[in-house]
Amino acid sequence: MRNIVHRHLGKMVAGTAIAVAGTAVMVAVTLPGTAGADDNGTRAGQSAPQAAGAAGAAGAGEAAAGGRAVAPGVVEAAPAEGQRGEGRDPLTDDELRRAEKIALSRQLFRSSESVDGDRGPQPLGVDLAEPEADEAGRPDAPRRADVTFYDYRDDTLVTRTVDLGTGKVVATGTQHGVQPPLSRAEKAEAAGLLIADPLGSGLKADYKDATGKALTSPDQLQLSGAVYRAAAGAQPAVLDQCGEHRCVRLFPKIKNGPWVDARQLVIDLSARKVARLDR
């Protein structure tokens, strides 16, 4: 846990996928090498290398134009987004908000639980629903959205399909043992549980070493993470339900600092427990 990947090793880390062992599904995460320094050790945001490149480009442009300066490019503003999309257009911001509001009925809100134990399911995402077989290619096909929630009360994935034209829920599905990608709120909650747990002492010590400050909140970290599923004999018994429970493997990065290797730790969000994987 006290293994810090320092910034001067960023180049080596950037090209390396972290293979997650001991799970039923192999997971790989590539750490971005430009998250703070380039290959020459220059911090991101400094303009010296870019200025040199720009000067070279300008010189090439002048040469191509017979010595005349080339006018700078113009970036056009994005077109205004309407309240409603058409056909297979991506969902607009208004449609995203409307779909989630319609999908979260009073009954679902009262009977479910979010990742932090509050009333209401944990929102995961809103996606444009696929058309029915007889609707494919029709310009007047209804626009629908699939809204997904995770109910931590009984570890259920809930998918509700909303007809954006009528404003009604037209289908509801529930599944157990299905683990879609984690939301930002779930990764933050997992980090909070890890920080508060004795097994998070190494992470806190690494943060202290790198910044001179105490780690007290997930907001002090940049968080990536992956769902962890149990594999027979590959973890301590406390993690045997991962897959039915929603479990997380975090890849934390100190803001403006190094990555911290926390791959051996798994946070069970459903049971609100932290455990170390058997090697």
% of the chain beyond a pLDDT of 90 = 60
* Lowest-pLDDT choice from 34-43, 100-109, 136-145, 249-258: 34-43
Greater model confidence, 115 or 1 = 115
pLDDT score recorded for residue 96: 96
pLDDT score recorded for residue 196: 97
pLDDT at 41 > cutoff 90: no
Whole-model pTM? 0.69
pLDDT at 18 > cutoff 60: no
Greater model confidence, 43 or 218 = 218
Query: Using one digit for the tens of pLDDT, what is the confidence trace for 111-154?
Result: 999 999 999 999 999 999 998 888 877 877 899 999 999 999 99
* Lowest-pLDDT choice from 45-54, 130-139, 246-255: 45-54
Q: 3-state secondary structure string, the chain?
A: CCCEECHHHHHHHHCCEEEECCCCCCEEEECCCCCCECCCCCECCCCHHHHHHHHHHHHHHHHHCCCCCCCCCCCCCCCCCCCCCCCCCCCCHHHHHHHHHHHCCHHHHHHCECCCCCECCEEEEEEECCCCHHHCCCCCCCCEEEEEEEECCCCEEEEEEEECCCCEEEEEEEECCCCCCCCHHHHHHHHHHHHHCHHHHHHHHHHHHHHCCCCCCHHHEEEEEEECCCCCCCCCHHHCCECCECEEEEEEEECCCCEECCCCEEEECCCCEEEECCC
pLDDT at 2 > cutoff 70: no
Greater model confidence, 35 or 199 = 199
Task: Tell me the pLDDT band of 15, cut-offs 50, 70 and 90.
Answer: very low
Average pLDDT over residues 202-215: 96
Greater model confidence, 190 or 69 = 190
